[in-house]
Amino acid sequence: MTDEPFGLAHDEAGEGFPVVLLHGFPHDHTLWAAQMAGLEGHCRVIAPDLRGFGGSVAAPPFTIDRYADDVVALMDRLGIEKAVIGGLSMGGYIAFSMWRRHRARFRGLMLIDTKAGPDNDEAKKRREQQIEVVRSEGVAVLAPRLVEASVSARTRERHPDVVERLLAMMTRQPAEGVIGALQAMIRRADSTPTLKTIDVPTLIIVGAEDVPTPVEDARKMHDAIAGSTLEIIEGAGHLSNLERPAAVNHVMSEFIGRLIYA
Ligand code: MLT
């Protein structure tokens, strides 16, 4: 067990202007493979495995704030003072915590298929049940149930390869990390009051068919973050970057390009 932020495993591509991409639950850095390939010509893309996922050790404490501190420790290790921080879903919850704790490290913010509000009682109960499923039956039993809510009908019909890759990614995550993240999300703070404090350029991306974090949540963030841009990705569900990678790369590279040449 370590009580300090520690060395996250990560992948990186490209050079120059740094962009850090935080995966969701229960994913690893490979969630961003298409963004690494699509953006590496413009900037330096860094995709960590969060504590307890992919190649990073599954050691407590598991809290959203600790995940945030781990990412900043990685930026320190890589000599990155400021970056555009992008977070998808749980990665977005972590980006809000990073903003509260380390806002000087932001050059910009990308909120992808995420929301600011905390879990309600029903969501907490569902997560407790998911923890029980992982404890008694394993991640392999939970993963297909999560995949179902993650992608649009279009993706299921037209891109079974994407669904298969997602299922494999979710299934290979260690039980300790998955349980730790579920507990961290149950306990997470309400980031709604944080929204009005965000004063860096912000891009909000949401799949038009996102069920867990719908367009309505993205609009609320857009209304509360002054000067933010909202992009709705047609045909995508909760994992817009995986489902419509070219569309997401396009809006991300325009946003990043404006910051590079500002
Ligand atoms: C994710 O994709 O990270 C999850 O949907 C987050 C959550 O369960 O709230």
- Give the domain ranges of the chain: 2-260
The reply to whether ligand 1 has any atom less than 6 angstroms from the CB of 130 is: no
CA of residue 262 to ligand 1 center, whole Å: 33
CA of residue 133 to ligand 1 center, whole Å: 17
Pick from 6, 67, 11: nearest CA to 44: 11
The reply to whether ligand 1 has any atom less than 6 angstroms from the CB of 94 is: no
Q: Please state whether the predicted TM-score (pTM) of the whole model is above 0.85.
A: yes
CA of residue 182 to ligand 1 center, whole Å: 9
Q: Tell me what pLDDT residue 80 has.
A: 98
pLDDT tens, residue order, the chain (262 aa): 344 567 899 999 999 999 999 999 999 999 999 999 999 999 999 999 999 999 999 999 999 999 999 999 999 999 999 999 999 999 999 999 999 999 999 999 999 999 999 999 999 999 999 999 999 999 999 999 999 899 999 999 999 999 999 999 999 999 999 999 999 999 999 999 999 999 999 999 999 999 999 999 999 999 999 999 999 999 999 999 999 999 999 999 999 999 998 8
Q: Tell me what pLDDT residue 10 has.
A: 97
15/223 Cα distance (integer angstroms):
33
CA of residue 91 to ligand 1 center, whole Å: 8
Q: Tell me what pLDDT residue 4 has.
A: 55
Angle subtended by helix axes 139-150 and 160-171, to nearest 10: 140
147/186 Cα distance (integer angstroms):
20
Ligand 1 atom nearest residue 115's Cα: 9
Q: Tell me what pLDDT residue 1 has.
A: 34
The reply to whether ligand 1 has any atom less than 6 angstroms from the CB of 90 is: yes
CA of residue 260 to ligand 1 center, whole Å: 30
- Report the topology of domain 2-260: Rossmann fold (3.40.50)
Q: Starting at the edge strand that comes first in sequence, how are the strands of the sheet with 10-13 ordered?
A: 10-13, 44-48, 18-22, 83-88, 106-112, 202-207, 229-233
Compute the residue count for the chain: 262
The region that residue 255 occupies, defined by phi over 0 for left and psi between -120 and 50 for alpha, beta otherwise, is alpha
51/61 Cα distance (integer angstroms):
9
Question: 73: which residues sit within 8 A by CB, 6+ positions away?
Answer: 4, 5, 6, 7, 8
Pick from 99, 119, 130, 117: nearest CA to 22: 99
39/16 Cα distance (integer angstroms):
11
